[in-house]
């Protein structure tokens, strides 16, 4: 979307109230319990927004002269008084139901503002029992960081530290027999993000030989910063690892700690086998889908998807699909224009629709 992040103006207040009322009706219609069961409009009346406007704390995402998202941004937040990092807190985020991506774009730009102010984190909270919203925030890199109680409200605090200008390790977890393009396709794309640092790991470190005979010198997994992004390939080497309890335990620990988890091809079978994907949507190489699904019966497998995203987990179909997924991941973090520019730079025709899976018939052969 073409939009502008700005301080709210007096003329935005009626529009913001209309966005809130529309969201409350939507929550009633969809069975989501949050603002509609906490007397939200009484707790946050118009006078509250007028005060936030006067104090310069109310911000809006402008699209064509109209506010399509808005929130209060605080540099001091009593709900986080026990947290040491300097941060910017987001409260009362509301976005338009028309179109898609306004809330996501507002948070991306709020992260840029936090970084410009010298903050080390962007924070928010949401209802602890709102699974869909928690998955949305998890997908954006907001990690769980405690709870909050305020009257009828029971919330989960979330914190995002991978702000613009702050480095994030991309931890490629390699093993004997992995597929070349599974790793180096996404790695080429992620390397275009200046804040991302590619690192290469294996279970015990040392040289790892892949399915095509490529030799890579790796660090031991114990040396990884687990708070980074996990990149897990597939390939023939996943078959023996699916029954390797020690490896699966290491993978589960790393996946749980990672801010983001990206798997390519049958890498998702390993994430399923260690239990990390339980209750999440996922896909895999369509020629190996029957085997992948057998590795995790609690996973919500999709037999027609180029790639999936569910919370912090991204999974792709076979081999080249990892590049489409990686560009989708970049678009979610940095905006669609950034992803499209990377695709142009590497002269790659991006399949940007995760549901456009021309190879799904392979799962039925």
pLDDT tens track for 198-252: 999 999 999 999 999 999 999 999 999 999 999 999 999 999 999 999 999 999 9
The residues of the chain scoring below 50 in pLDDT are 365
The predicted structure's pLDDT at residue 360: 84
Taking the model in full, what pTM does it have? 0.89
The predicted structure's pLDDT at residue 365: 47
Whether 242 and 269 have beta carbons less than 8 Å apart is answered as: yes
CA distance 308 to 47: 42
Whether 231 and 181 have beta carbons less than 8 Å apart is answered as: no
Whether 102 and 115 have beta carbons less than 8 Å apart is answered as: no
Class at the top of the CATH hierarchy for domain 4-160: alpha beta
The predicted structure's pLDDT at residue 36: 84
The predicted structure's pLDDT at residue 253: 97
Residue 343, token pair as written in the block = 């695709």
Q: Where are the domains of the chain?
A: 4-160, 168-364
CATH classification for the domain delimited by 168-364, as one of 2.60.120.560, 3.40.50.150, 3.40.50.880, 3.30.1280.10: 3.40.50.880
Reference 122, options 102, 142, 97; nearest CA is 142
CA distance 153 to 12: 27
């Amino acid at each position: 979307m073409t939009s502008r992040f700005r301080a709210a103006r007096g003329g935005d207040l009626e529009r913001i109230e209309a966005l809130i009322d529309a969201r409350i009706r939507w929550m009633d219609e969809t069975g989501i319990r949050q603002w509609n069961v906490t007397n939200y409009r009484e707790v946050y009346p118009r006078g509250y927004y007028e005060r936030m406007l006067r104090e310069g704390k109310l911000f809006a995402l402008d699209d064509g002269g109209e506010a399509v998202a808005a929130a209060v941004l605080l540099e001091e937040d009593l709900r986080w008084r026990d947290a040491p990092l300097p941060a910017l807190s987001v409260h009362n985020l509301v976005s338009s139901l028309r179109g898609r991506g306004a809330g996501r774009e507002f948070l991306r730009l709020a992260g840029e503002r936090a970084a410009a102010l010298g903050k080390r984190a962007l924070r928010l909270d949401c209802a602890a029992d709102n699974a869909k919203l928690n998955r949305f925030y998890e997908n954006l890199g907001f990690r769980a960081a405690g709870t909050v109680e305020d009257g009828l409200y029971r919330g989960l605090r979330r914190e995002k530290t991978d702000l613009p200008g702050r480095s994030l390790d991309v931890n490629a977890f390699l093993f004997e027999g992995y597929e070349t393009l599974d790793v180096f396709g996404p790695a080429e794309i992620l390397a275009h993000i200046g804040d991302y640092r590619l690192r290469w790991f294996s279970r015990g470190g040392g040289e790892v030989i892949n399915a095509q005979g490529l030799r890579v010198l790796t660090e031991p997994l114990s040396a990884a910063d687990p708070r980074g992004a996990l990149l897990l390939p597939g390939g023939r080497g996943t078959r023996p690892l699916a029954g390797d309890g020690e490896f699966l335990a290491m993978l589960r620990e790393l996946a749980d700690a990672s801010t983001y988890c990206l798997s390519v091809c049958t890498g998702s079978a390993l994430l399923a086998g260690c239990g990390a994907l339980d209750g999440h949507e996922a896909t895999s190489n369509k020629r190996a889908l029957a085997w992948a699904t057998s590795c995790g019966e609690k996973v919500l497998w999709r037999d027609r998807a180029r790639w999936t995203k569910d919370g912090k987990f991204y999974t792709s179909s076979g081999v080249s699909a990892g590049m489409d997924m990686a560009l989708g991941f970049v678009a979610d973090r940095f905006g669609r224009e950034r992803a499209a520019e990377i695709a142009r730079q590497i002269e790659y025709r991006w399949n940007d629709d995760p549901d456009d899976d021309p190879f799904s018939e392979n799962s039925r052969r």
